[in-house]
């Protein structure tokens, strides 16, 4: 059985200093500010609100 590769879902606090400043600034623009991030690699991120509502998919953010 061949399994598709999956991204390990690991939430990162939006205030983690390893994340780009531009990502944090973008996360502040939503009605519900971003609180959690999943790093997909290659400058791609998923932004989530405190209640884990998906807010945005971000690309080319380094």
Within a domain: 26? yes
How many Å apart are CA 7 and CA 26, to the nearest integer?
Answer: 23
pLDDT of residue 62: 87
Within a domain: 24? yes
Within a domain: 46? yes
φ, ψ of residue 15 to 5 degrees: the values are -90, 5
Q: Residue 30 belongs to what domain range?
A: 11-58
pLDDT of residue 10: 86
pLDDT of residue 4: 46
pLDDT of residue 8: 53
β-sheet bridge partners, residue 48: 36, 54
Task: Name which of 48, 12, 16, 20 is nearest 32 in CA terms.
Answer: 48
Task: Name which of 10, 9, 41, 15 is nearest 27 in CA terms.
Answer: 15
Structure-token match 């999956």, residue found: 6
Within a domain: 2? no
Which is higher by pLDDT, 1 or 37?
37
Give per-residue pLDDT as tens, 2-58.
554 444 558 999 999 999 999 999 999 999 999 999 999 999 999 999 999 999 999
């Amino acid at each position: 059985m061949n399994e598709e590769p999956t991204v390990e879902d690991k939430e990162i606090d939006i205030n983690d200093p390893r994340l780009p400043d531009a990502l944090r600034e973008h996360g502040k623009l939503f009605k519900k500010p971003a609180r959690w991030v999943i790093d997909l690699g290659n400058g791609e991120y998923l932004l989530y609100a405190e209640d884990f509502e998906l807010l945005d998919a971000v690309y080319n953010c380094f």
